[in-house]
Amino acid sequence: MCGLIGYVGRRADRNVQEVLLDGLSSLEYRGYDSAGMAVSNSSLAVYKREGDLSALEGALPDEPLDGVAGIGHTRWSTHGSPSDANAHPHTDCTGRVAVAHNGIIDNYRALRESLETDGHEFDSETDTEVIPHLIESALERGDDAETAFRWAIDRLEGSYAVAATYAGHETVYAARNRSPLVVGIDDDGYFLASDVPAFLEYTDAVTYLDDGHVASIRPSGVEITDERGACVDVSVETVEWEPEDAGKSGYEHYTLKEIHEQPRAIRNCLRGRPQELTGDVSIDALEDVERPDRIQFVACGTSYHASLYGARLFRERSVPATAFLASEYDADAVPVDDGTLVVGVTQSGETADTLRALRDANRAGATTLAVTNVVGSSAPRETDHAMYIRAGPEIGVAATKTFVTQQVALAMLSSGLTGERSREVVAALRDLPDRIQSVLDESRARTIASEYAAADAYFVIGRGYSAPVALEGALKMKEITYKHAEGFPAGELKHGPLALVTERTPVFAVISRDSNAETMLGNVNEVASRGAPVIAVTDASEAVAADVDHVLRIPETHRRFTPILANVQLQLVSYWMANQLDRSIDKPRNLAKSVTVE
């Protein structure tokens, strides 16, 4: 959730302060409420401020901080409210050690009480501050810098990615446990970050730390060791993203750019997988995966909505499939055996609840599969198999192109694992990018958003394959407009939600040209008769126009993929409504891009 950046280097044209600020700026999308940095020279220079990165920049001296090693951090509050004191990095009593940390230290209260008994004084309410004081204790008894760092890390319980630097040292020490850390390798410097975009403009050569690894990053190179201090051989990978992929490319917001990138993202997701001549789907990484007896999806938020869609696809192919909220998944309470495939759907590959569910499934004997966007993240490294959605970097906190590519990936997964051969389905998959482009080119979403931006609340309804997209459409509206919105399977309206319908609650109805169309029109009439304005998102505009106030048209496609097109219209409505309401669209309040705590 928080953002972490570290840098060690001696290049004359690349000072540490500049690199840290660039990295923190690239990590703003993760969500934060304060920011800070520490640069090591003969002493430590530590600056941190509540608020946006601009507040930190305003607090820095006119001359760049002098040093070879430094760490920076953007904080998303868990322990203690946003404040200068609670911002990272945190230091020890002597000011010799600075630490930045992502995650949660579960045993911090006991550690803090013990340290206070020993005379340590704390300046913040955070769990993180125990770490520099632990390091200080080890240094006072004579441990060297690396030994002190290891001793402190060994006493932590919980999830963490930790970076530390010391006064008078040219080293950044780092360790992780259930929280992401990636090392960037350049000819003239070395980087550490919670996510690749933090240093992508400098290098695309990376290596990923595993739980229990300790990295010592010096001007002379990077050394990675295990829990016992033994050197670990790690592979260096090349990130396929380009620096411009993480830019706005002239769009007002990353979110709008990423909505418009969906045709390209789908083409990347499809590349080499659907076979037009045979009508089957081939996924190289899953060639040895047999048709499972049952499938359990585990996911959170937007990824859970994609999982609901995926589960329905499998059930249609006669494979029992259920989608679970990862935070509620219990492998001991549901049937799990070697015939069970548990699929973790996670954009970042670092979602804490989803990782915990996958680990439980592994222990229960299931085969596990990660469907994710990030190569080298924790989910694909901890599961038996991985399928990448290939959406490219997504900077906006609210998922857009990653949701669409998750849907497409799960559609291919259902065909591939069940042995389905359908030229009709493959042709529809191939046509999806062009169909979405037509929605983007012709949408009236901006006009609809303007007309209904002042409404009290919004409902989104759908049936069948469209029900998960109704949930997602409402979630997008909540995330970026801050307006109340609810998504329902349309049949559930009469079982309670209809009591909330008034003339000030517009209803967005996803109506596809399938067997549910007539029933959906009945649901539309239920809300219309209570005075609610109805906006149909539909491929059957002629049939429904007389029953609704407005129509957002989508092209005809295979019935499985109609909801994917409808989702794009709902994304655009949410975006333009948030734009009219002057919301912080790319960084919605209280939200973070990657949720790495349970």
- DSSP structure class, residue 12: T
The token pair at 6 is 């570290």
Q: Check if the beta carbon of residue 341 is closer than 8 Å to that of residue 298.
A: no
Residue 113, Cβ density class (10 Å: 0-12 exposed, 13-18 middle, ≥19 buried): exposed
Residue 240, Cβ density class (10 Å: 0-12 exposed, 13-18 middle, ≥19 buried): exposed
CB neighbourhood size of 231 (10 A): 9
Task: Give residue for tokens 């804490």.
Answer: 352
Which of 401, 476, 483, 593 is flagged as catalytic? Answer: 593
269 given a catalytic annotation: no
User: What phi and psi, each to the nearest 5 degrees, are found at residue 427?
Assistant: -60, -40
User: How far is Cα 413 from Cα 295, in angstroms, rounded to an integer?
Assistant: 12
2 given a catalytic annotation: yes
Q: Check if the beta carbon of residue 405 is closer than 8 Å to that of residue 391.
A: yes
3-class DSSP assignment, residue 508? strand
Residue 155, Cβ density class (10 Å: 0-12 exposed, 13-18 middle, ≥19 buried): middle
Residue 154, Cβ density class (10 Å: 0-12 exposed, 13-18 middle, ≥19 buried): exposed
Among 248, 271, 268, residue whose Cα is nearest residue 259: 248
User: How far is Cα 187 from Cα 192, in angstroms, rounded to an integer?
Assistant: 15
Which of 2, 48, 401, 483 is flagged as catalytic? Answer: 2
**Alpha-helix runs per DSSP H in 27-66:** 53-59
The catalytic site residues sit at: 2, 593
